[in-house]
Structure 1
Amino acid sequence: MAAQYDAVIVGAGFGGMGAAIQLHRLGHRRLLILEREDDLGGTWHVNRYPGLAVDIPSATYSYSFEPNPHWSRLFAPGAELKQYAEHVAEKYGLRPHMRFGTVVTGAHWVEEESHWRVAIAGGDSVTATYLCTATGFLSQPKVPDIEGIEDFGGKVIHTTAWDDDYDLTGKRAAIIGTGATAVQLIPEVAKVAADLTVYQRTPIWVSPKPDYRIPPRLRRLFARIPLAQKVVRAVGSGLLELLMISGVVHYRRLRIANRIAERYCRAHLFRQVRDPELRRKLTPDYSFGCKRPTFSNTYFRAFTKPHVHLETSRIERVEEQAIVTADGRRTEIDVLLLATGFNLWDVNFPAIEIIGRDGKNLGKWWRENRFQAYEGVTVPGFPNLVSLNSPYSYSGLSYFTTIECQMQHIDRLFRAMRARNAKVFEVSQQANDRFLELMRDKVGDSVFALGQCATANSYYFNQHGEATLLRPTSTRNAQREAVRFPLSDYTYA
């Protein structure tokens, strides 16, 4: 039987939309984009906590082929990212392909029909020649396993399910977590809460945020002369590559870049926090880059306010009206805010059950044979599967670098199929093994292998202690390989 769709794409965030745009360019019109939320945008639809903003310069956080001249700030607020997602969907005609409030429970390859059958909650299923998973890296919220948390009598809010109707004004608040989300949230809560206690397991490297309002005159210039914004994008990307990526990925050769970034962050902390004991608590004891760093001009200052307290003792339990730490300290609170991030390695990779050829279970295979994917896109034993959030796929700091590399890979692969009059592709085991060995070798030059990462508690590392999320090469290498990988690394039928 013929498949109902050319491709089913799971996820309507920027990754899923990028895949849909590329497939549409290749002539595939029968597309179905399935999204569990009630609208598009992925993380920029789900997240709406106070202070939400992109944590890298906005000019680098967009499709290169669809620049946005209308960012209001260098680091755009989250609402503008949602608006940009809506603009892309409208311009490229993606909304008619989207089905919201639809939870995909799994997918399996039907060998006899050479297509994927995708199961949907409620008993329905659809079939497609190609399956693209774009469920995102940060899509499965993590709730901390703390004794008594389910019995807390006050309000509990996870940052991915923010309650806009709950007023924090005058409340005694607690925030668990000091990652990139908390860095944005804490200063905003500190403005309105009567008392705020922040529970920190691991400090974070924070550098100054060169954020400023983009004048309307400059925005009009970007709209009229797109090349001007492309130059800004190139400069921003180059600086991020130099300061953030070079000292992390090329740590063995460019350890000095890592040291400069670390000292830059230390100087920022010193300028904003004069209390040496508080400064000591806020200073990471792991190498820069082991955990994703971030930018902020207000995070450190928040802890200098008299009603904001930093707690570094382990949480022993949560009571009906309080949090108790391991040293016996009891803090009464009204609201508990969870900035505890996402569970990547236990319930993601993949986010749904995927069964390939001969009953091969992708999640089980990854966990038993190392997390791996050829060029961060395809996996042997899973024909016609494009896995967009895969091990070794994330390149650079901007997610759009990753998305566009994968779009280029799709373009080259699908054109090769067309030239061969084929409809089925599968990466060879040999090509996959060669790529995996290359990635493992290059990780050996990175801060993840040579730095002090043991105390970082970083989501970059999987449950086996391997850093398999980021591609350990320059973004230029990732872009080059996306358009040059050997076509013979695939079989076609």
Structure 2
Amino acid sequence: MTTTHLPDPDELDTLRQRYSLERERRVRPDGARQYRPAEADFGYYAADPYVDGVAGREPLKDTVDVAVVGGGFGGILAGARMRQQGVGRVRIVEKGGDFGGTWYWNRYPGIHCDIESHVYLPMLDETGYVPEWKYAPGEEIRRHAVRIAEKYDLYPDALFSTAVTSLTWDEATETWIVATDRGDRFHATYVVTSTGTMSEPKLPGIPGIESFRGHTFHTSRWDYSYTGGTPGGGLSGLKGKRVGIVGTGATGVQVIPMLAEDAEHVYVFQRTPSSVDVRDNRRTTAEDVGADREGWAHERRENFLRIVSGEPAVRDLVADGWTASAALLEKLLPSFRRAQEGPSFEAEYEVADAVKMNELRARVERSVDDAATAEKLKPWYRYACKRPTFSDKYYAAFNRDNVSLVDTADTHGIERITEHGAVVGDRTYELDCLIFATGFSVGVSGILSGKLPVHGRGGTQLLHAWAQQGPRTLHGFTGNGFPNLIHMGSLHNASSVNFTHVLDEQAVHAAALVAAAEAGRAVVEPSPEAEDAWLAVLAKGAADHEWFHAECTPGYYNREGLGRPNTASAFPHGAVAFHELLRRWREESIAEVLRPRTAVETN
């Protein structure tokens, strides 16, 4: 039997110093400005590679019951739950060529979900589907999104390859006017927004990026016409090619082993290594997960949510890397339920954190043959500083002769790109193909970015209304002055590592709001007093994580090292408690957001 070594105070102090040193090597004064959006001259990086041109159609001028902005799982679930409430015409408007959201766009080789598929895939009980793998490949997830859309008849009114450009409240008809980039201007009694937080690919602002004469693309728009193969591998087009990949986050960890199988040589340009835990992916059967019982998926999903939210659970049904390290997610989730406070908690937390990170660094040493490469792959930061990743193949890729790790921490990334390759220090790495696994711009899509202007009662623009005191909502869904507008997402809501679960609870709530309004011939709109009361709930007991993330290595969690301010942006008592609060409110208090319609209905 092995015993876990608990670091003593001197060892913890040494770790803190190492973490600080490694952080300083990577902090850049330009912060998030080091990236550029995939638009304007770089818009081709965001083009849809999965549609062969966009078919022409006449602009729509009709009226629907509900318009949903976004066709990812949030939008699909909103549509499905509306159907369960008996809503007739539901129109989902989606920029991609089909349903799926992030799973429509991301089809890179090796793509899998990092949350167990039996809790990640929503509506398994309702569709009767049992995932084939513990961690589903991307195509299985995308097909499940289509499965839900087909079951709930969401295709007939859907608009694909279409972006909503504005939402305007029409007081005379008490409907929203929805305008799109394809000339549509239709009315909807209710609008649900579910545009996601990571839908816009970002690129590093490397000088000379436009001069590269080789082939280049972003992982969220994988170019199989160049690489050949499928998400399962077989990238025959890379035979004899020198491939560079920028980024070693969750995407890079999955892509790099696949590139290594087919490219002549792979250069991995790394600024900060990910922490990579064991995935242990495997095929599963219905018996493995108890799918022979009614409500099995609901039970499993709730069990996972309890554990990763800091709630007690009798059993751990999922038993994976997430649940094993659940206690360390407290700094990652602003709505993690803490059992205790104060210095004693932080001291115990730091020890547990050090034990886990020492374990992960030891895994690197055991897995990577070359000591110098292994040292560069070690994650020197605390567990919740970056999203944890999981792989059974990543480290083994660096034992291949055709894979080279290029550490760019001291040069703050690739210094410049030439016609023929990438420059780091005194070396130019000649490349035939350069792939960006650089993720997405957080929070730059949809309403909060200003790209989707919303004008409510009296023409008031939503972001202008929120400019003085910040966002104002009730439960994160509705706001005064913006009737029948329902938000889905992370604002003023609860958070979890399994966001599809959160989205499904939000979809149930959104559908209940619409059903209550329809039954009472009412408009959904909270009072300013209700908003004030909710903001007070968020502020009371809000987690103090600012100091923790200020000490973290740069990444999107802390705005690339600039810090993560404490704001009352999430329910502070955990997702389990928040979902119970919503259920109780629907039973007892939903009438408080309903006011009689005043518009005259015409047929």
With normalisation by structure 1, the TM-score equals 0.88
44 and 444 in structure 1: CA distance in 2 versus 1, 3 angstrom threshold: same
Equivalent of residue 243 in structure 2, options 173, 185, 188: 173
CA distance in 2: counterparts of 1:300 and 1:365, whole angstroms: 50
Q: Could you tell me whether the CA contact under 8 Å between 1:14 and 1:85 is conserved in 2?
A: yes
- Determine the structure 2 residue equivalent to 1:206: 276
Other structure's SS at 2:224 match: coil
Equivalent of residue 339 in structure 1, options 421, 434, 437: 437
Q: Could you tell me whether the CA contact under 8 Å between 2:80 and 2:148 is conserved in 1?
A: no
1:292 Cα offset (Å): 1.9
Q: Which structure's CA Rg is the greater one?
A: 2
1:53 Cα offset (Å): 0.8
1:136 Cα offset (Å): 1.8
1:435 Cα offset (Å): 3.3
Tell whether 2:543 aligns with 1:444.
Answer: yes
Other structure's SS at 1:122 match: coil
Map 1:82-161 to 2 at 5 A.
82-161=142-221
- Determine the structure 2 residue equivalent to 1:290: 385
Tell whether 2:470 aligns with 1:375.
Answer: no
66 and 400 in structure 1: CA distance in 2 versus 1, 3 angstrom threshold: farther
1:142-175 alpha-carbon deviations (Å, 9 max, x no partner): 1222211112101111111111121223311111
Q: Could you tell me whether the CA contact under 8 Å between 1:287 and 1:452 is conserved in 2?
A: no
- Determine the structure 2 residue equivalent to 1:402: 502
- Determine the structure 2 residue equivalent to 1:428: 527
104 and 451 in structure 1: CA distance in 2 versus 1, 3 angstrom threshold: closer
Equivalent of residue 417 in structure 2, options 305, 310, 318: 318
- AA of the residue aligned to 1:322: G
291 and 95 in structure 1: CA distance in 2 versus 1, 3 angstrom threshold: same
CA distance in 1: counterparts of 2:395 and 2:159, whole angstroms: 42
- AA of the residue aligned to 2:431: I
**When the two structures are aligned, how many residues end up with a matched partner?**
487
38 and 323 in structure 1: CA distance in 2 versus 1, 3 angstrom threshold: same
97 and 118 in structure 1: CA distance in 2 versus 1, 3 angstrom threshold: same
Q: Could you tell me whether the CA contact under 8 Å between 1:196 and 1:309 is conserved in 2?
A: yes
1:215 Cα offset (Å): 4.3
Q: Could you tell me whether the CA contact under 8 Å between 1:380 and 1:426 is conserved in 2?
A: yes
Q: Could you tell me whether the CA contact under 8 Å between 1:244 and 1:261 is conserved in 2?
A: no
Q: Could you tell me whether the CA contact under 8 Å between 2:549 and 2:564 is conserved in 1?
A: no
CA distance in 2: counterparts of 1:20 and 1:208, whole angstroms: 36
Q: Could you tell me which runs of 5 or more consecutive residues in structure 2 were left unpaired when the two chains were aligned.
A: 1-60, 227-236, 311-324, 597-603
RMSD: 3.1
Q: Could you tell me whether the CA contact under 8 Å between 1:395 and 1:478 is conserved in 2?
A: no
CA distance in 2: counterparts of 1:84 and 1:369, whole angstroms: 40
Q: Could you tell me whether the CA contact under 8 Å between 2:91 and 2:154 is conserved in 1?
A: no
CA distance in 2: counterparts of 1:89 and 1:58, whole angstroms: 18
1:429 Cα offset (Å): 3.2
CA distance in 1: counterparts of 2:467 and 2:212, whole angstroms: 35
- Determine the structure 2 residue equivalent to 1:247: 330
1:129 Cα offset (Å): 1.1
Other structure's SS at 1:286 match: coil
Q: Could you tell me whether the CA contact under 8 Å between 2:246 and 2:436 is conserved in 1?
A: yes
1:269 Cα offset (Å): 2.9
- AA of the residue aligned to 2:404: H
Equivalent of residue 23 in structure 1, options 58, 82, 96: 82
431 and 228 in structure 1: CA distance in 2 versus 1, 3 angstrom threshold: closer
Percentage of pairs with the same residue: 33
1:446-487 alpha-carbon deviations (Å, 9 max, x no partner): 4x5545554231247598833777655422112112213454
1:183 Cα offset (Å): 1.3
CA distance in 2: counterparts of 1:267 and 1:416, whole angstroms: 55
119 and 228 in structure 1: CA distance in 2 versus 1, 3 angstrom threshold: closer
329 and 434 in structure 1: CA distance in 2 versus 1, 3 angstrom threshold: farther
Q: Could you tell me whether the CA contact under 8 Å between 2:71 and 2:92 is conserved in 1?
A: yes
- Determine the structure 2 residue equivalent to 1:41: 100
1:245-273 alpha-carbon deviations (Å, 9 max, x no partner): 75333577465365555444334334323
Q: Could you tell me whether the CA contact under 8 Å between 1:412 and 1:483 is conserved in 2?
A: no
- AA of the residue aligned to 2:405: L
More deviation, 71-80/143-152: 143-152
1:375 Cα offset (Å): 2.4
Other structure's SS at 1:106 match: strand
